[in-house]
């Protein structure tokens, strides 16, 4: 685990990148939130972020997050950003405050059922595989209207917006294209279903500038803050 002063220096660099990208896109810096991704790092990573006012945390596995949440000293908002197997849906509802990686009809129904049983309304994002990357999960663009229609019909889910991961590709143009596609999709769905879909979770360490240019409202950053993963 990196020392706190390294984290602080990393955070300043990331904030500078965000500020520059917002300026280039003529957007206010407040329009983008930074989600620190603490997967594969000890729970101290969460405490570091919380100390600096970053109160939402991204984790990609249910079990790892659940363990950290039990011992974490900081009160933060836990967000699942990794693929969720439906047999872990119940645990995920118990562990996370929001699930960004909702990628199937089956999972939507299960999450609704477990949230209802827990007496809560669970915020979610629908993950879209905008780049049609065979190694990535997420609904295909053409399935998104049906997925959203179902999600909006489920009483114990609240759809905050959409999420995507750019395809693995060296070209940042490919990432930019995937992000623009998600924003256009959001605009269309928002009109069609008369619902806000405010959150656009897109952009990571390597492509945050492209994401902000395309309208991202939340960038998910791991390695630029914490160094490479163990």
Residues within the interface to ligand PLP (CB under 6 A): 37, 39, 60, 81-82, 165, 204-206, 220-224
| Least distance to ligand PLP, CB of residue 160, Å | 16
Following CA atoms 192, 197, 198, 204 in sequence, which dihedral angle do they give, to the nearest 10 degrees?
-120
**C-beta of 58 vs 215, nearer to ligand PLP:** 58
| Least distance to ligand PLP, CB of residue 40, Å | 8
Residue 88 token pair: 């872990």
Backbone φ and ψ for 73, nearest 5 degrees, come out as -85, -25
- Taking the C-alpha atoms of residue 113 and residue 30, their distance in angstroms, rounded to an integer, is 35
**C-beta of 34 vs 154, nearer to ligand PLP:** 34
**C-beta of 83 vs 120, nearer to ligand PLP:** 83
Rounded alpha-carbon distances, angstroms, from residue 182 to 92, 112, 132, 158: 25, 24, 12, 19
| Nearest alpha-carbon partner for 104 in 144, 153, 139, 60 | 139
Residue 180 burial (CB count, 10 A)? 17
- Taking the C-alpha atoms of residue 108 and residue 150, their distance in angstroms, rounded to an integer, is 8
- Taking the C-alpha atoms of residue 132 and residue 140, their distance in angstroms, rounded to an integer, is 7
| Least distance to ligand PLP, CB of residue 163, Å | 8
**C-beta of 89 vs 204, nearer to ligand PLP:** 204
**C-beta of 39 vs 186, nearer to ligand PLP:** 39
Backbone φ and ψ for 171, nearest 5 degrees, come out as -85, 125
| Least distance to ligand PLP, CB of residue 144, Å | 18
**C-beta of 154 vs 226, nearer to ligand PLP:** 226
| Least distance to ligand PLP, CB of residue 95, Å | 16
**C-beta of 79 vs 154, nearer to ligand PLP:** 79
| Least distance to ligand PLP, CB of residue 220, Å | 4
Residue 82 burial (CB count, 10 A)? 18
Q: Nearest-CB residue to ligand PLP? A: 222
Tokens 């999420």 found at: 163
| Least distance to ligand PLP, CB of residue 223, Å | 4
Helices 4-24 and 44-51, packing angle to 10 deg: 60
């Amino acid at each position: 685990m990196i020392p706190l002063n390294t984290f602080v220096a990393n955070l300043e660099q990331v904030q500078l990148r965000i500020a520059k990208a917002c300026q280039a896109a003529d957007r206010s810096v407040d329009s983008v939130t930074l989600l620190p991704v603490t997967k594969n790092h000890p729970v101290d990573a969460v405490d570091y972020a919380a100390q600096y006012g970053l109160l939402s945390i991204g984790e990609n596995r249910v079990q790892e997050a659940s363990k950290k949440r039990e011992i974490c000293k900081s009160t933060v908002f836990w967000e699942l950003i990794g693929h969720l197997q439906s047999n872990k849906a119940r645990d995920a509802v118990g562990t996370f405050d929001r699930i960004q990686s909702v990628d199937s009809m089956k999972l939507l129904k299960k999450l609704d059922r477990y949230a209802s049983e827990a007496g809560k309304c669970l915020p979610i994002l629908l993950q879209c595989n905008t780049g049609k990357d065979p190694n990535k999960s997420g609904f295909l663009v053409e399935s998104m209207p049906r997925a959203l229609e179902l999600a909006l019909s489920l009483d114990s889910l609240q759809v905050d917006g959409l999420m995507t991961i750019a395809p693995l590709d060296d070209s940042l143009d490919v990432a930019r294209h995937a992000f623009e596609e998600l924003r256009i999709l959001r605009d269309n769905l928002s009109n069609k279903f008369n619902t806000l879909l405010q959150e656009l979770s897109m952009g990571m360490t390597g492509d945050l500038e492209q994401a902000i240019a395309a309208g991202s409202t939340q960038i998910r950053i791991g390695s630029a803050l914490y160094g490479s993963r163990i």
